[in-house]
C-alpha cells in the first residue's frame, strides 16, 4: 500500500464529484431513447469533443505508449499516429452528414441507406456484433490494463484485482445507467481534465528526479535513435532502438490501415462513439467542430506527458523484462510522486478508465436496444429507457467475465484490425457513391473472417503480410458483390439523398431530384483535409522538438504548420458558412 490519508481524500473527492455530476442528469436522460443515447441532441460541441478525447484516453493508453517508446523510441507511436489521416477525413467529409442523417445510432443508418430484409438483417447483426461482442472485448482489455495498475501500485493479488475492478465498474455502471449520454459526456470532461493534469504532474516530478536531471539530462542519457520522430525503413525489421519497419509494414501504415480497417475511435467515415458524439451536438457546425477538437487534442495535447515519462523509464528501470515495459509508467507513479499527488494520479487513471468504460456501456446499450430489440419493446419511451439501463448492467457483467479470459491486449488489437480489414472503404463510399448497396457492406463485413484464417494457411505469419492479403481479398469480394447485385431501389436512394444531401457520385439520383447530372467532387475539402493533417503533425512534432531542446527544428515545424493552416482556411473559405 503506497497511499497516505491525503491520497485517499483526493480519490474520495474524485468519486463524489463524478457521481454528483453524473447523477444530476438522471431526470433529463429518462425522457426517451434519444435523451438516453444522444443527450437530446443538445450537447455543446466542446463537451462532445472532449468526451471523445476522454474515451480514447483509457487506463491502458499511457501504458501502451510507454511500451512502444521503450521498445522503439518516440517513432514507435506511428502505430497509432498513422490514424490521423482517417480521423481528419471524418472531420471534413463525414461529420455534417452524420448530423443530417438524424439517426440515433450507427446501425440505424443501414436501414436509411439500404432497403429490404437484407438491410434489416445487417442492422441487427451489426448492432449485436459491435454493441455486444466487440464492445465486451474492448471493455475486457481496458479492465485488464486497470488490473495491471492495481497489481503494480498496490501489490494486489489476482482475486483482489478482480474485486476492485468490479467495484469501480459498479460505480461507473451506476451513473452511466441512470444519467445517459449527457451524464457520461460531462463526467468525461472532468475526468479528462483530471487525467491530463495528473499526467503532466507525473512528468514534472519524474523529470525532476536526480537520476534524470530535467529535460536536458534525459536527452543526454538516451540514444539519439530513441528520440527520432520517424521510423527507419529497412528491408527487414529489427528489434531495439527506433522503430524499424519493412517497406510492406510502412506501406500498410501510411497508405492502407487508416482507411481500410474498422477500429474503435478511428472508424473510417466515423462510427461508434465518434458518430454518437457528432450526432449528439446541436448543429451541423457543432458536429464538425466537435470532431475537429477531438483530432487536435487526441494527437497534439495528450501524447507528450506520456512520452516524456516513458523515455524517463528507460533510464529509471533499465532492467524490466521483455513484455513488462509498460509497467514502468505505474512504477514511476509509485516511486516518484509525493503524498497527495499519488492520489491525484490514481484518480487520473480512474478517470481514464471510467470515461472509456462509461462510453462503451452507453453506446453499446444504445445499439442493442435501438437496433436489435426496439421492435419488441413497445412504444413506451420510458420502457425503452429502462431496458437500456438494464442492458448497461448486463454489458458490465459480461465484460467482467470476458476479462477473465483475456491474456494479451495485443492479441485483441490484432483481432480487431484483421477482422475489420477492407471494410473501411465501404463505410466511407456508402455516403459518396450511389452504387454501393447492402450486399457491398454484408460481403465486406464477412470477407475478413474468411481471409484472415486463409492467410495463416498460406504461411503468412507476419501481421502486415496477413493484413495486406485480408484487405485485398475483402476489397475484391465487395466490389464483385456490388456489380453482381442490383442497386438499391430508387425510392430508397432518393430518400437518403434528399435527407443527407451528400456530395460525390450520385449523378442518377441528382438528375431525378434536382435535374443536375455529373459528380460533385469536393476538391476544397480535399485540400483542407490534407492541410489539416499537416497542421496537426506539425504541432505534434513542433512541441516535441521544443521539449527536447531542438529549437531550430521547432521553428521549422511551426512555419510548416502555419503555412498549412493558411492553406486550410483558404480552401474552406465560404464552406463553413454553409454548414
What count of other Cβ atoms lies within 10 Å of the Cβ of residue 316? 18
Q: At what angle do helices 507-514 and 490-500 cross, to 10 degrees?
A: 80
Q: Give the DSSP per-residue string, 138-172.
A: HHHHHHHHHHHHHHHHH---HHHHHHHHHHHHHHH
Q: Give the DSSP per-residue string, 419-472.
A: HTBTTHHHHHHHHHBTT--HHHHHHHHHHHHHHHHHHHHTT--SHHHHHHHHHH
Q: What angle do CA 444, 447, 452 make, to 5 degrees?
A: 130
Helix (H) or strand (E) holding 244: strand 244-245
Q: What is the pLDDT of residues 132-159, one digit of tens each?
A: 998 998 898 888 888 888 887 777 888 8
Distance of CA 144 to the CA centre of its chain: 18
Residue closest to 168 by CA, chosen among 360, 353, 364, 398: 353
Residues 6 or more apart in contact with residue 150 via CB below 8 angstroms: 156, 160, 161, 164, 165
> Residue 348's pLDDT is what?
85
Q: Annotate 249-275 with b (16+ C-beta within 10 A) or e (fewer).
A: bbebbeebbbbbbbbbbbbbbbbbbbb
Alpha carbon distance 331, 430 (integer Å): 47
Q: What are phi and psi of 2, to 5 degrees?
A: -120, 10
> Residue 220's pLDDT is what?
93
Residue 527 corresponds to which cell in the numbers above?
485540400
Alpha carbon distance 53, 296 (integer Å): 9
* Residue 551, helix vs strand vs coil: helix
Q: Are 36 and 29 in contact (CB under 8 A)?
A: yes
Lowest mean pLDDT of 138-152, 297-311, 453-467, 513-527, name the range: 453-467
Alpha carbon distance 141, 381 (integer Å): 33
Helix (H) or strand (E) holding 233: strand 232-233
Label residue 246 by pLDDT band (50, 70, 90).
Answer: low
Label residue 574 by pLDDT band (50, 70, 90).
Answer: low
The residue whose grid cell reads 491520497 is 7
- Per-residue pLDDT averaged across 283-302, rounded? 94
Q: What are phi and psi of 43, to 5 degrees?
A: -80, 135
Alpha carbon distance 534, 571 (integer Å): 14
> Residue 544's pLDDT is what?
95
Alpha carbon distance 350, 343 (integer Å): 10
Residue closest to 175 by CA, chosen among 35, 31, 54, 23: 23
- As its CATH architecture, domain 1-253+270-406 has Up-down Bundle (1.20)
Q: What is the pLDDT of residues 332-352, one digit of tens each?
A: 988 898 888 888 888 888 888
Q: Residue by residue, what is the 3-state secondary structure of 99-119?
A: HHHCCCCCCHHHHHHCCHHHH
Q: Are 473 and 450 in contact (CB under 8 A)?
A: yes
> Residue 10's pLDDT is what?
87
What count of other Cβ atoms lies within 10 Å of the Cβ of residue 485? 15
Count, residues in the chain: 579
For the chain, give every domain's residue range.
1-253+270-406, 408-488, 522-579
How many CA within 13 A on the CB side of residue 41? 16
Q: What is the pLDDT of residues 363-408, one digit of tens each?
A: 999 999 999 887 665 557 777 888 889 999 999 999 989 888 877 6
Single pTM value for the model? 0.91
Q: What is the pLDDT of residues 190-204, one digit of tens each?
A: 989 988 998 999 999
Label residue 213 by pLDDT band (50, 70, 90).
Answer: very high
Residue closest to 42 by CA, chosen among 253, 186, 155: 186
> Residue 242's pLDDT is what?
57
Q: What is the pLDDT of residues 490-513, one digit of tens each?
A: 999 999 999 999 999 999 999 999
* Residue 252, helix vs strand vs coil: helix
Q: Are 113 and 434 in contact (CB under 8 A)?
A: no
Label residue 577 by pLDDT band (50, 70, 90).
Answer: low
Q: Annotate 400-427 with b (16+ C-beta within 10 A) or e (fewer).
A: bebbeeeeebeebeeebbbbbbbbbbbb
Amino acid at each position: 500500500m503506497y497511499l497516505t490519508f491525503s491520497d485517499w481524500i483526493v480519490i474520495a473527492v474524485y468519486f463524489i464529484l463524478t457521481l454528483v455530476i453524473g447523477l444530476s442528469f438522471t431526470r433529463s436522460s429518462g425522457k426517451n431513447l434519444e435523451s438516453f443515447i444522444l443527450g437530446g441532441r443538445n450537447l455543446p460541441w466542446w463537451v462532445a469533443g472532449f468526451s471523445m478525447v476522454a474515451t480514447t484516453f483509457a487506463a491502458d493508453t499511457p501504458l501502451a505508449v510507454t511500451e512502444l517508446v521503450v521498445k522503439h523510441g518516440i517513432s514507435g507511436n506511428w502505430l497509432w499516429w498513422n490514424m490521423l489521416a482517417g480521423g481528419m477525413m471524418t472531420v471534413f467529409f463525414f461529420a455534417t452528414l452524420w448530423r443530417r442523417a438524424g439517426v440515433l445510432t450507427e446501425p440505424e443508418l443501414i436501414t436509411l441507406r439500404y432497403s429490404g430484409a437484407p438491410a434489416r438483417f445487417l442492422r441487427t447483426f451489426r448492432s449485436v456484433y459491435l454493441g455486444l461482442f466487440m464492445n465486451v472485448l474492448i471493455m475486457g482489455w481496458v479492465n485488464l490494463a486497470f488490473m495491471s495498475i492495481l497489481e503494480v501500485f498496490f501489490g494486489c493479488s489476482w482475486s483482489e484485482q478482480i474485486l476492485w475492478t468490479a467495484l469501480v465498474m459498479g460505480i461507473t455502471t451506476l451513473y452511466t445507467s441512470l444519467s445517459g449520454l449527457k451524464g457520461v459526456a460531462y463526467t468525461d470532461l472532468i475526468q479528462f481534465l483530471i487525467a491530463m493534469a495528473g499526467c503532466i504532474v507525473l512528468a514534472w516530478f519524474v523529470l525532476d528526479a536526480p537520476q534524470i536531471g530535467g529535460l536536458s539530462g534525459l536527452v543526454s542519457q538516451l540514444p539519439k535513435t530513441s528520440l527520432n520522430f520517424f521510423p527507419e525503413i529497412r528491408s527487414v525489421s529489427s528489434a531495439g532502438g527506433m522503430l524499424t519497419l519493412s517497406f510492406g509494414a510502412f506501406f500498410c501504415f501510411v497508405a492502407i490501415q487508416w482507411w481500410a480497417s474498422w477500429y474503435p475511435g478511428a472508424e473510417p467515415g466515423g462510427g461508434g462513439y465518434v458518430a454518437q458524439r457528432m450526432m449528439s451536438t446541436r448543429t451541423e457546425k457543432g458536429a464538425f467542430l466537435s470532431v475537429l477538437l477531438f483530432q487536435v487534442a487526441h494527437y497534439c495535447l495528450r501524447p507528450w506527458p506520456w512520452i516524456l515519462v516513458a523515455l524517463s523509464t528507460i533510464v529509471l528501470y533499465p532492467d524490466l523484462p521483455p513484455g513488462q515495459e509498460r509497467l514502468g509508467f505505474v512504477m514511476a507513479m509509485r516511486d516518484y510522486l509525493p503524498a497527495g499527488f499519488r492520489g491525484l494520479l490514481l484518480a487520473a487513471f480512474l478517470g481514464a478508465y471510467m470515461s472509456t468504460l462509461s462510453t462503451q456501456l452507453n453506446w453499446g446499450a444504445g445499439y442493442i436496444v435501438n437496433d436489435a430489440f426496439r421492435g419488441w419493446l413497445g412504444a413506451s419511451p420510458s420502457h425503452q429507457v429502462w431496458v437500456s439501463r438494464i442492458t448497461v448492467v448486463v454489458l458490465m457483467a459480461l465484460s467482467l467475465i470476458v476479462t477473465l479470459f483475456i491474456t494479451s491486449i495485443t492479441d485483441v488489437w490484432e483481432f480487431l484490425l484483421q477482422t475489420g480489414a477492407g471494410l473501411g472503404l465501404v463505410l466511407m463510399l456508402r455516403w459518396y457513391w450511389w452504387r454501393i448497396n447492402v450486399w457491398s457492406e454484408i460481403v465486406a463485413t464477412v470477407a475478413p473472417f474468411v481471409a484472415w484464417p486463409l492467410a495463416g494457411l498460406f504461411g503468412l505469419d507476419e501481421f502486415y503480410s496477413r493484413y495486406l492479403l485480408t484487405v485485398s481479398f475483402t476489397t475484391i469480394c465487395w466490389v464483385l458483390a456490388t456489380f453482381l447485385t442490383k442497386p438499391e431501389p430508387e425510392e430508397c436512394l432518393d430518400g437518403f439523398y434528399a435527407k443527407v444531401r451528400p456530395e460525390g457520385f450520385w449523378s442518377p439520383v441528382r438528375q431525378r431530384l434536382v435535374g443536375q447530372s455529373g459528380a460533385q467532387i469536393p476538391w476544397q475539402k480535399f485540400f483542407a483535409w490534407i492541410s489539416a493533417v499537416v497542421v496537426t503533425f506539425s504541432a505534434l512534432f513542433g512541441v516535441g522538438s521544443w521539449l527536447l531542446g531542438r529549437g531550430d527544428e521547432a521553428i521549422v515545424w511551426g512555419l510548416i504548420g502555419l503555412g498549412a493552416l493558411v492553406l486550410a482556411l483558404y480552401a474552406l473559405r465560404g464552406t463553413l458558412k454553409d454548414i
